[in-house]
Structure 1
Amino acid sequence: MVGCSSTFTQHVPSLALLRRLSERSPDLVTLMGGANCESVMGRSTHARFPWVDYVVSGEADALIGPLCWDILNRGRDIPPADLPFGVFGPTHREAGYPAASTRDLVPRAVIENMRDLPLPDFSDYFAEVEASLYADRIHAGLPMEFSRGCWWGERSHCMFCGLNGGSMTYRQKPAGQAAAEMIEMSARYGSSRIEAVDNIMAIDYLEKALPHLTALPEKLAIFFEVKANLRRHEVEKLAAAGVRWIQPGIESLDTRVLKLMRKGTTSAHNVQLLKWCRQYGVRVSWSLLWGFPGESDAWYAEMASWLPLLHHLQPGPAVRLRYQRYSPYHYTAEKHGLKLLPAAPYRYVYPLSERDLSDQVYYFEDSEDNHVGGHFTARDTNRRPGLSAVAKGIDAWLKAWCGPTFSMLSMQDNGDEIIVEDTRAIAVEREHRVRGLEREILLAADEGSPETRLRERPGAANVMQGEIEAAIADMIARKLIVRLDARLVGLALWHPYTPILPPTAFPGGYLDRRSTPVDPPRE
């Protein structure tokens, strides 16, 4: 038996490999599973590619052992009635495929309890790495899983997200177990790098898992995907526990676009998160998505006007929205004025009819949209000047992070005045000394306070509204704060701040392709 697990772009090479192997060895039994075999995609894979004997739709943890045992003892043609729920076998091609009560009517195996799932065994991999000529270039990370589904998606499914297929239900390992497993795997394989492959970190891990990791004498280096509305003390906890890199669901810096997505965050939340991550030395992987049905180009023009203020924070690329199977945009396309068809490149890959292709693929395009590909083009510049300005602003922001040093906006408070150092290209002055009412405004803005709460600050009591407005205008003119969502958001970090790690520190691992190490940019 040979099996392939397929996710995203692994499907064609998996099919090609199994086809070649089955041609060379007709007695071989072939299997496929993974996210690309989810429900209707798995059924289509099995129905249209006859050299794949068995396809598992869904989560195979509990069924793969008994299934393989049956194949070894009973041969290739196991009767449909004897196959586990979610498994398609050779006899289904003639007898017909089973149905389920899910949205697409296709069975999908699901694990309800993650507590008893075994730890992955990477011993073969590490043995091969140790024997490799490139052993000194490979800095391996340990992919680990602590949850499935998405707790936010259960409440409010993000419009563009199809990652969890037919099961958004959130299931997690207990917090104490998660921490213990990280420690055990790190000791077993001699690597402190751990990449959590979860869609989102469990809410209770902040209070119940991280303290176990914070107490370690030698910290692990951990990656997690998180929701973007983390507060300052929560980012501080992540950093103290060894979470060195996160992928938050930022997706945009405009609250109106975020509402279209159903993200449950705001522009102010997202800027604050970027600031606190820079404060505590946590690297961020994020992107700014565009192309949502109903968005206004004026929103992007407004965003472009203040993007240069953020050049001391970590940037993310601008990426066009892609319509994923299982996302709300996919299954409610007509409601949003979309006519979705399989993405054009698939037609060059799969020898399938349009109907079969619609069952096979993960990405779709709107047939009414003349935009080609995922990048911003010259045609878009004329059609959407606001978005064009954002694209240029993002490019400038990314370039600012490619130089020998990073720009910085930081401050220190001695009780009477705040001294601000500003090395951004957009800086009005290299040093600002902020006193009195302006100091109170800067302190309030550091918390992202609503403007309506300014009068609660000690220095703002009994001050005329005109004076407050003038002081706010002064701080905005000095480019130290920005007004977002009726909030004043301070942009400066507190000095001292934790230096940010180089990209080579990614907890998922790193392959050094250079002959001579290069020092990372200096703070």
Structure 2
Amino acid sequence: MGRTTHARFPWVDYVVSGEADTLIGGLCRDILTHGRDIPAADLPFGVFGPAHRQAGYPAALGDLVPRAVVENMHALPLPDFSDYFAELQHSLYADRVHPGLPMEFSRGCWWQRSSPCTFCGLNGALMTYRQKPAAQASEEMIEMSKRYGTSRIEAVDNILANDYVEKALPRLVALPEKLAIFFEVKANLKRDEVEKLAAGGVRCIQPGIESLDSRALKLMGKGTTAAQNVQLLKWCRQFGVRVIWSILWGFPRESDAWYAQMGRLLPLLHHLQPGHAVRLRYQRFSLYHRAADQYGLTLSPAASYRYVYPLSERDLADQVYYFEDSEDDDAGRDFRALDAKRRPGVQAVIQGMDAWANAWCGLTPPILSMRDTGDEIIVEDTRNVAAEREQRVKGLARESNRPIATAEILL
């Protein structure tokens, strides 16, 4: 994409393909000294300059485009947000803005290395995963929070590093005033891991839930099941962790019957945090893009790009990130314009997710919980599908359903 931008738009002088952290300083000094006349041989690996338009572009293995890569994340400096906070201080809306600090602790995805999700195009063709040491990550969060006077940390990582729960969180748990942290995570977290995340100040997560049907999840290569996803939603509600998640639809070889079944089950989950129904988009570098023929796809650049880039179809195919299946009758349509008769299952899920979100619009979200008083179990159920708002279980029935702890738990 960067190479095509450079080759087709001559007013772009230099393009860095990949990660510029360690080369950008030297590159800028050279540009200030030599302008547009830096010889191709003197440009860092992964940088395209005016000289390449005459000499030709360098090639590399894989997708044939060289990329600069930072191998040692340990040595990268902390981001400097001082200009932003100086501007914010003088803003008329300063008292209404609650900034979060974007911070990076890893690059790549450790799950992608072994079993990439079919739809994911993040990280390009670069499959290497790198992370900062856990101890460094926690100390950097604390340092940045003190420096800018905000507790909100917004991790931009693709996925939470495997060892951070055990090695980074204890330092954060010990803080007298907790941070408020966001992380993207894999959806197969265990109950004790969610509890530790909450205790360490992780207030919001974006897990790769993607579906509540195990067959669809297998089709995506997620490595999780519908039961694991529901369990995660339950534990997050129980421990006070907000969840941002979606149900994706529109996959090659999926069955509408899966969604019809899913749609019937959604009302049972209204006591858990709702997500959104989102149509699949084909991304560059995903398995669907790299092996389109294997999935029966005929991909072409998404139609909207043609209104932006004055390029040929061939160049456009090299330029864009999102693609559409030209054989899909619904390509480019808004999901609410789908033919309900052709995809009734998907329509049921879309409507079911809307109803779920509406159930959470009030002051008190629906709840399904049980509390053991010692003599009986009290089940509270405020879902719309509840047969009774409260049920009391005693005797042998109580013993067979008694929770491990006597505190109130979510069902």
Do they fold alike, i.e. is TM over 0.5?
yes
Say whether residues 1:304 and 2:304 are aligned partners: no
Say whether residues 1:214 and 2:173 are aligned partners: yes
Q: Which residue of 1 aligns with 2:325?
A: 366
Task: Give the conservation status (yes or no) of the 8 Å contact 1:141–1:194.
Answer: yes
Which of residues 71, 77, 82 in structure 1 aligns to 2:42? 82
Cα-to-partner distance string for 1:142-174 (whole Å, 9 max, x where unaligned):
000000000011111000000111212110000
Cα-to-partner distance string for 1:464-492 (whole Å, 9 max, x where unaligned):
xxxxxxxxxxxxxxxxxxxxxxxxxxxxx
Q: Which residue of 2 aligns with 1:425?
A: 384
Q: C-alpha displacement at 1:436, in angstroms?
A: 5.7
Q: C-alpha displacement at 1:243, in angstroms?
A: 0.2
Which of residues 41, 45, 54 in structure 2 aligns to 1:94? 54
Q: C-alpha displacement at 1:49, in angstroms?
A: 1.2
SS in 2 for 1:377: helix
Pick which of 372-381 and 341-350 moved more: 372-381
Say whether residues 1:64 and 2:24 are aligned partners: yes
Q: Which residue of 1 aligns with 2:127?
A: 168
Question: Amino acid of the residue matched to residue 56 of structure 1?
Answer: V
- CA gap of 1:93–1:438, structure 2 versus 1, over 3 A, is farther
Q: Which residue of 1 aligns with 2:187?
A: 228
Say whether residues 1:495 and 2:404 are aligned partners: no
Please give the alpha-carbon distance, in whole angstroms, between the structure 2 residues aligned to 1:441 and 1:270. Answer: 25
Question: Amino acid of the residue matched to residue 422 of structure 1?
Answer: D
User: Following superposition of structure 1 onto structure 2, how do residues 424-463 of structure 1 map, counting pairs within 5 Å?
Assistant: 424-435=383-394, 438-439=397-398, 442=401
Q: C-alpha displacement at 1:405, in angstroms?
A: 2.3
Say whether residues 1:125 and 2:84 are aligned partners: yes
Task: Give the conservation status (yes or no) of the 8 Å contact 2:325–2:331.
Answer: no
Please give the alpha-carbon distance, in whole angstroms, between the structure 1 residues aligned to 2:349 and 2:44. Answer: 51
Unaligned runs of 5+ residues in structure 1 are: 1-40, 448-492, 498-523
SS in 1 for 2:310: coil
Q: C-alpha displacement at 1:373, in angstroms?
A: 3.0
Q: C-alpha displacement at 1:69, in angstroms?
A: 1.3
Please give the alpha-carbon distance, in whole angstroms, between the structure 1 residues aligned to 2:60 and 2:217. Answer: 34
Matched residues, number: 410
Which of residues 342, 362, 377 in structure 2 aligns to 1:383? 342
Q: C-alpha displacement at 1:74, in angstroms?
A: 2.2
Q: C-alpha displacement at 1:440, in angstroms?
A: 6.1
SS in 2 for 1:380: coil
SS in 2 for 1:161: coil
Q: C-alpha displacement at 1:231, in angstroms?
A: 1.2
Which of residues 155, 159, 173 in structure 2 aligns to 1:196? 155
Pick which of 408-417 and 257-266 moved more: 408-417
Task: Give the conservation status (yes or no) of the 8 Å contact 1:279–1:494.
Answer: no
Say whether residues 1:397 and 2:364 are aligned partners: no
Question: Amino acid of the residue matched to residue 315 of structure 2?
Answer: D
User: Following superposition of structure 1 onto structure 2, how do residues 219-258 of structure 1 map, counting pairs within 5 Å?
Assistant: 219-258=178-217
Please give the alpha-carbon distance, in whole angstroms, between the structure 2 residues aligned to 1:141 and 1:378. Answer: 36
Question: Amino acid of the residue matched to residue 231 of structure 1?
Answer: K
Task: Give the conservation status (yes or no) of the 8 Å contact 1:194–1:221.
Answer: yes
Task: Give the conservation status (yes or no) of the 8 Å contact 2:303–2:332.
Answer: no
Please give the alpha-carbon distance, in whole angstroms, between the structure 1 residues aligned to 2:124 and 2:197. Answer: 29
Task: Give the conservation status (yes or no) of the 8 Å contact 2:263–2:349.
Answer: yes
Please give the alpha-carbon distance, in whole angstroms, between the structure 2 residues aligned to 1:379 and 1:494. Answer: 46
Task: Give the conservation status (yes or no) of the 8 Å contact 1:159–1:328.
Answer: yes
Unaligned runs of 5+ residues in structure 2 are: none
Q: Which residue of 2 aligns with 1:326?
A: 285
Please give the alpha-carbon distance, in whole angstroms, between the structure 2 residues aligned to 1:178 and 1:66. Answer: 27
SS in 2 for 1:140: coil
- CA gap of 1:219–1:323, structure 2 versus 1, over 3 A, is same
SS in 1 for 2:73: coil
SS in 1 for 2:364: coil
Q: Which residue of 2 aligns with 1:408?
A: 367
Cα-to-partner distance string for 1:153-212 (whole Å, 9 max, x where unaligned):
111100000011121211000000000000000001111000000000001000000000
Please give the alpha-carbon distance, in whole angstroms, between the structure 1 residues aligned to 2:364 and 2:113. Answer: 42
- Divergent runs of 4+, >6 A: none
Please give the alpha-carbon distance, in whole angstroms, between the structure 2 residues aligned to 1:154 and 1:494. Answer: 41
Superposition TM-score, scaled by structure 2 size: 0.96
| Percent of pairs with identical residues | 75
Question: Amino acid of the residue matched to residue 397 of structure 1?
Answer: W
Q: Which residue of 1 aligns with 2:6?
A: 46
- CA gap of 1:368–1:142, structure 2 versus 1, over 3 A, is same
Question: Amino acid of the residue matched to residue 21 of structure 2?
Answer: D
